[in-house]
Amino acid sequence: MRRPWHLTKIGSAGLLLEPSEGLDPSAGLDYVEDLVRVLLASDSRYLYYDVKDVAVIDPVYYQWLLQLERSCRLLGTVLVILHMRPETAFALGRDLDGPISFSCAQSLDRPPV
């Protein structure tokens, strides 16, 4: 299976995940299992997920992010969402019924909130 993302090692403790257009969030568990194997092998403390090319985070995509965040937390890895555009955040905010469980940052140079 060809992975629908690109992974880059960031320093000694992080991985940058850049999804491609082929990522299907409805296949979330298959992706999570693959990413868990990668995270275990890399011993990363941070997984930076770059959403700059994601126009809308709908409920299906949000569930995929939640599955990934829960898996990261179990591994002791922090999921940080990078480069979320304002219109993407607005659309996501309309669908939420509570606070998000992952961290967000504008870039790798700025700390997550």
**pLDDT at res. 15:** 94
Ordered strands of the 46-50 beta sheet: 5-10, 14-19, 46-50, 78-82, 103-105
Residue 51 has what pLDDT?
93
Residue 103, pLDDT score: 87
User: Looking at per-residue confidence, does 78 or 111 come out higher?
Assistant: 78
Q: How is residue 106 written in tokens?
A: 């504008």
Whose CA is closest to 104, among 92, 19, 12, 41?
92
CA distance 90 to 5: 24
pLDDT value at residue 1: 56
Question: Ramachandran region of residue 99, left (φ > 0), alpha (ψ -120 to 50) or beta?
Answer: beta
Residue 102 to residue 79: CA distance in whole angstroms? 6
pLDDT digits (tens, 9 = 90+) for 43-85: 899 999 999 998 888 889 989 999 999 999 999 999 999 999 8
pLDDT at 112 (0 to 100): 67
- pLDDT for 111: 60
- Residue-range domains of the chain with CATH: 5-105 (3.30.750.24)
The pLDDT value given to residue 39: 92
Distance between terminal CA atoms of the chain? Answer: 34
Most confident of 43-47, 99-103, 106-110: 43-47
